[in-house]
Amino acid sequence: MNNGGNTALRPRRSVLYMPGANTRAMEKARELACDSIIFDLEDAVSPDAKETARTQVAATVRAGGYGYRELVVRVNGLDTPWAAADLSIAAQLPIDAVLLPKIETVEQIDQCERMLAGTPAAALPLWVMIETPRGVLAIEQILSSSKRIDVVVMGTSDLVKELRARHTEDRGALLPSLAHCVLVARAFDRVVLDGVHLDFRDAESFGRACRQGRDIGFDGKTLIHPSQIDIANTVFGPSTDEIDQARLIVAAWGDAQRAGKGVAVVNGRLVENLHAAEAERVLAFAAALVARD
């Protein structure tokens, strides 16, 4: 379990895409155990259903009832004919962020901020999708361009296509891009989410993908089906053993500090200040989950 520094206490283990054209699915999401919901106006909606989806998302979000769940709207790309209307509607909704797809340049961030200027969403946090080679290469400039960017979302399906690679279980072709984006996100103290796993019926392969993403450093995973929520929550959340270990480390470190020592030992392993800091973060994250629920 990892989380970025600037929003470290907001769990984003499971971030579920909800197609904006499917009202029933969006309503059912009120009862799901996901941390965040992305109401999708982009890829999950056909061109002839864009306006309907926009209206349905607005009505569903305004109806409320989503409790602790973070609400995000993914708009269409800024170079499409639907983006302006998407942002106009999103600016009026009680949501937590807007997700911008296929971000490759600082100019796109500037354009979005100009479009939201003077609206109730003028200071609304932005999430950005990195899903092309140009986006991966420009992520440092993108994140340094605006403090409003809160979360980086990997668009792995599009990235595989753009790389002319193949979907493989080990995601070998994606690993350099994924690791690079995690590195930059950490350097800029941002949350970073792994891309979707398309075979939602295969729980075992999904679990392996989650564990790989967690080991790389991702804070959570974007999901395409409710059946993936529990696994993502388990993998990207602190286990009981991790919480118990964190408590031991914090206690041992406190004892060492009071004794004027610079190190401690827990279960035969050396503990230094970096281990204590990580343990404190695990406990804070676990406490945030308890308080939220």
For the segment 126-179, what is each residue's pLDDT rounded down to a tens digit? 999 999 999 999 999 999 999 999 999 999 999 999 999 999 999 999 999 999
Confidence of residue 6 (pLDDT cuts 50, 70, 90): very low
Give the burial string for 71-85 (b: 16+ CB within 10 Å, else e). Answer: bbbbbbebeeebbee
Which pLDDT score, from 0 to 100, does residue 52 have?
Answer: 96
CATH homologous superfamily for 14-236? Phosphoenolpyruvate-binding domains (3.20.20.60)
Which pLDDT score, from 0 to 100, does residue 9 have?
Answer: 80
Domain positions in the chain:
14-236, 240-292
Which pLDDT score, from 0 to 100, does residue 246 have?
Answer: 96
List the one residue out of 247, 279, 275, 280 whose CA is nearest residue 262: 275
CA atoms of 165 and 216, how far apart (whole Å) = 20
Q: What value does the mean pLDDT take over residues 85-109?
A: 97
Confidence of residue 293 (pLDDT cuts 50, 70, 90): confident
For the chain, how long is the longest CA-to-CA vector? 69
Mean pLDDT of the chain: 94
Among all chains, which residue has been given the structure tokens 């949501």? 95
Confidence of residue 252 (pLDDT cuts 50, 70, 90): very high
Which pLDDT score, from 0 to 100, does residue 158 have?
Answer: 97
CA atoms of 12 and 60, how far apart (whole Å) = 21
43-88 pLDDT, tens digit per residue, is 989 999 999 999 999 999 999 999 999 999 999 999 999 999 999 9
Q: Is the pTM of this model over 0.95?
A: no
> DSSP letters along 204-238, please?
HHHHHHHHHHHHHT-SEEEESSGGGHHHHHHHHS-
- Taking phi over 0 as left and psi of -120 to 50 as alpha, with beta for the rest, 157 belongs to alpha
With a cut of 80, say whether residue 2 has pLDDT above it: no
Which pLDDT score, from 0 to 100, does residue 26 have?
Answer: 96
- According to DSSP, the residues that pair with 152 across neighbouring strands are 128, 192
- Non-local (6+) Cβ contacts of 237 within 8 A are 1, 11, 13, 285, 286, 289
12-54 pLDDT, tens digit per residue, is 999 999 999 999 999 999 999 999 999 999 998 999 999 999 9
Which pLDDT score, from 0 to 100, does residue 4 have?
Answer: 41
